[in-house]
Amino acid sequence: MKREVEGDFKREGGIRAIREIIDRGISFDAVLAGNDEMAIGAIEELERRGKNVPHEIPVVGFDDIESARFVGLTTVRMPTRELGRVAVKLAFDMIDGKKPIGYQILPTEIIERASTMTGDDAKTIRLDAV
């Protein structure tokens, strides 16, 4: 059973994705959203549906936007400055006619906040923007 739902990197996309997954009757124990905006929307809809975040369903976002702190969202922090530097260098290399060589992995950091708790055998729903 597919446990991925398309979102749009916006709060409303997280709301719609949770509605869809619950309305389809798919069981899940956690949500990993493609970004923090969708994770915040997911939390809103889960709570609207009477689910307790994090005790019933932990939620994790990705990118550590400023508002993530205020809602207690656990998230994955990226080195945005380094990401921008690498992207600009890649763009200039492509403009100069150079072919991109491989890929570069940048370090990330999990920022634990109130939206998660530990649990074994969790089934996670991913909210991706395609």
Residue ranges of alpha helices (H) inside 61-113 are 66-71, 80-95
Per-residue pLDDT, 16 = 95
Per-residue pLDDT, 30 = 94
Residue 103 is assigned to a structural domain of this protein: no
Domain that holds residue 14: 4-77+114-129
Q: How far apart are CA 43 and CA 51, in angstroms?
A: 9
Q: Rounded to an integer, what is the distance from CA 64 to the centroid of its chain? A: 10
Per-residue pLDDT, 125 = 53
Instruction: Name the token pair of 79.
Output: 């080195």
Per-residue pLDDT, 126 = 57
Q: How far apart are CA 59 and CA 1, in angstroms?
A: 20
- Residues, the chain, total? 130
Our count of domains for the chain comes to 1
Q: Which residue ranges of the chain lie beneath pLDDT 70? A: 1, 117-130
Q: What does the pLDDT look like over 67-86, one tens digit per residue? A: 999 999 999 999 989 999 99
Residue 88 is assigned to a structural domain of this protein: no
φ/ψ (deg, to 5) at 86: -65, -40
φ/ψ (deg, to 5) at 129: -100, 130
- The model's pTM is 0.80
CA dihedral 79, 85, 86, 92 (to 10 degrees): 160
Task: For residue 65, give the CATH number of its domain.
Answer: 3.40.50.2300
Residue 95 is assigned to a structural domain of this protein: no
Per-residue pLDDT, 130 = 38
